[in-house]
Amino acid sequence: SKFFSCNRYPFNEISFKKEDNSIYNNIFSDLQMVKFEINKVYVDIIFDILIAVQYMIQRIT
């Protein structure tokens, strides 16, 4: 889709050919982008939890 920039999102070359510009492919690429963003959020949350756990361990010892 035109809305998302291609360079931060590597899936679109794999997912569909650029010249085939059907509505379904645009929707599909947007859905993959949303999935990618959600994965990034989960990674951030996991890192926050790890940092918090590490901080708690340091407080105990």
> pTM of this prediction?
0.41
Q: What does the pLDDT read at residue 4?
A: 46
Per-position pLDDT tens, the chain of length 61: 444 444 544 555 555 455 556 766 777 778 888 888 888 888 888 889 999 999 998 888 7
For residue 5, being part of any structural domain is answered with: no
Whose structure tokens read 């929707």? 27
Q: What does the pLDDT read at residue 53?
A: 92
Of 26, 29, 25, residue with least CA distance to 37:
29
Q: What does the pLDDT read at residue 52?
A: 92
For residue 41, being part of any structural domain is answered with: yes
CA 16 – CA 30 distance, rounded (Å): 12
CA 32 – CA 16 distance, rounded (Å): 12
For residue 2, being part of any structural domain is answered with: no
Q: What does the pLDDT read at residue 17?
A: 54
Structure token pair of residue 28: 């599909």
Specify the number of domains making up the chain.
1
- How far are the Cα atoms of 2, 12, 30, 47, 61 from residue 5, in angstroms, in the given order? 7, 10, 11, 26, 47
Range(s) of the domain holding residue 51: 11-60
